[in-house]
Structure 1
Amino acid sequence: MSRSQRLLDLIQILRRHRFPVTGAQLAADLNISVRTLYRDIGTLQEQGADIQGEPGLGYILRPGFMLPPLMFSEDEIQALVLGSRWVAKRTDGQLSAAAKNALAKIAAVLPEDLRLSLESSTLLVGPPDNALTGETFLPQIRQAIRGERKLEIVYRSLKNEESRRIIWPFALGYFDLVHVLVAWCESRQGFRHFRTDCIISLTDAEARYPKRRQRLLKEWRDQEKIAPQ
């Protein structure tokens, strides 16, 4: 992890705490030494972050650092909260944490009245009917989509037929009971949909696919007659 990323992570961790958090806890969360943490806090303070506290007592970040003030309507705030809560409950741990972090960043720079509206939203997301499976590979799949990289998968269909495929992943669908990977399949020479809970193994094929993912998405939508979202 780069130092810049570590400083951003430190700011985000502090934003999630309303009360002082100890240097030891912060260092553990970042997997760094306490000595390095103190240097990072000093760097952020020099850059204008209002971090208050001292060794032995804990640290707290006053709101308003790094992001300009944001204004949302009540409906927009409810949409943000509801969407973030859905992601937090219906996706893998990595994306769930990202949703919580994004909401914390927004809350940190909202005017007080809007922040209270965000924090007291009564729109709730219930638990899924069944525990989702197939989450293990989701971070790798999203990374491959972002990097436009081929994947080699071993897939077992619902008919219990096993096959090995080289695919070009470009979209990932989230449903209440299943996640579906949309990709171009080299062996079938066409678009295919793969349930992530049916993927037995997944590895990077160490090659970029020849088309841009936006192009694949458009061709797939045209074929399936799906309107852009």
Structure 2
Amino acid sequence: MSRSGRLLSLMEILRTRRRAVTAAQLAAELVVSERTIYRDVAELMAQGVPVEGGAGVGYVLKPGHFLPPLMFAREELEAIVLGLRYVDQRGDDVLRNASAAALAKIAAVLPPHAGPTLDVPLAMPGPPAASFPDNVVELSRLRAAIRAQRRLEIVYADAAGRSSRRVVWPVQIGFMDSARVLAAWCELRESFRTFRTDRILAATEGTRYPGRRAELMRGLHEHLALSVRGQTADKN
């Protein structure tokens, strides 16, 4: 591997790690000596790349540093295009516009030989849903509550049209094939629940819920994983 290629690989490793990575770990991944890692890190710092750390402590890339798309491998770019096409099919207006803007930005900085990856990609998403039910409460309001970690008092209608009031801690919005759902901790059920957004008839933002959303998200995903395993066991 050339030095320039190794520097790009080094930045990519640091970009994907949230915690400091030691020179020994980096050397093992790149199959070089630790001395080479020290020299390469010094070169990155000299070029203005915001790498923090040192020998014996490890290195970390400061948050916010962006690697331009032209550094993506071909398969990585295929994955990005597939994801953006999926968002264009199933996302709401906000995400569809964001998807188009992101794709345009990527196309603007790609080298000419990468153009076919955008124009004639190898992968494609499945057929789009016919339509999604309209929402009474805009998804932007749900997003705002998620970001602010605020409780929501919602009026929710079940499949039979019966309505009830719930106080929930919103965690994520799910985009399914035929509906969108709000995943949240429900104070009434004392458990994680999903609510179809088109059945949320009203939503009032309340006080900040305790803890961190990242912790709730981990709990939600564990809950969903257990549910899937339970359904699989029932089928067996």
Q: Same fold, TM exceeding 0.5?
A: yes
Kindly tell me: are residues 134 and 226 of structure 1, through their superposed partners in 2, closer, same or farther at Cα, counting changes over 3 Å? farther
Q: Which amino acid in the other structure matches residue 210 of structure 2?
A: P
**Cα deviation 1:188-212 (Å, max 9, x = unaligned):** 322211111211122322x211121
Q: Which amino acid in the other structure matches residue 90 of structure 1?
A: R
Kindly tell me: are residues 81 and 69 of structure 1, through their superposed partners in 2, closer, same or farther at Cα, counting changes over 3 Å? closer
Deviation (angstroms), 1:216: 1.1
Alignment-derived partner of residue 215 in structure 1: 215
Deviation (angstroms), 1:226: 5.2
Q: Which amino acid in the other structure matches residue 101 of structure 1?
A: A
Larger % of helix: which? Answer: 2
- Whole-Å separation in 2 of the counterparts to 1:87 and 1:179: 12
Does the CA-based 8 Å contact 1:167-1:186 persist in structure 2? yes
**Cα deviation 1:162-190 (Å, max 9, x = unaligned):** 01122100022211011121111123322
Q: Which amino acid in the other structure matches residue 171 of structure 1?
A: Q
Tell me the TM-score normalized by structure 1.
0.62
**What is the Cα-based RMSD across aligned positions, in Å?**
2.4
Q: Which amino acid in the other structure matches residue 184 of structure 2?
A: A
- Whole-Å separation in 2 of the counterparts to 1:192 and 1:185: 6
Deviation (angstroms), 1:69: 6.0
- Whole-Å separation in 2 of the counterparts to 1:120 and 1:189: 48
1:168-207 mapped onto 2 (5 Å cutoff): 168-205=169-206, 207=207
Count of residue pairs the alignment pairs up:
161
- Whole-Å separation in 2 of the counterparts to 1:159 and 1:80: 40
Secondary structure of 2:177's counterpart equals coil
1:39-188 mapped onto 2 (5 Å cutoff): 68=68, 70-121=70-121, 123-125=123-125, 127-135=127-135, 137-188=138-189
Deviates more, 1:105-114 or 1:123-132: 123-132
Q: Which amino acid in the other structure matches residue 223 of structure 2?
A: Q
Deviation (angstroms), 1:126: 5.5
Deviation (angstroms), 1:147: 1.8
Structure 2: any 5+ residue segments left out of the alignment? 1-65, 228-236
- Whole-Å separation in 1 of the counterparts to 2:199 and 2:68: 44
Does the CA-based 8 Å contact 1:134-1:198 persist in structure 2? no
Identity of aligned residues (%): 43
Kindly tell me: are residues 110 and 177 of structure 1, through their superposed partners in 2, closer, same or farther at Cα, counting changes over 3 Å? same
- Whole-Å separation in 2 of the counterparts to 1:83 and 1:69: 15
- Whole-Å separation in 2 of the counterparts to 1:115 and 1:106: 10
Q: Which amino acid in the other structure matches residue 183 of structure 1?
A: A
Tell me the TM-score normalized by structure 2.
0.60
Deviates more, 1:162-171 or 1:123-132: 123-132
Q: Which amino acid in the other structure matches residue 112 of structure 2?
A: E
Deviation (angstroms), 1:125: 4.0
Kindly tell me: are residues 137 and 69 of structure 1, through their superposed partners in 2, closer, same or farther at Cα, counting changes over 3 Å? closer
**Cα deviation 1:14-60 (Å, max 9, x = unaligned):** xxxxxxxxxxxxxxxxxxxxxxxxxxxxxxxxxxxxxxxxxxxxxxx
Q: Which amino acid in the other structure matches residue 182 of structure 2?
A: L
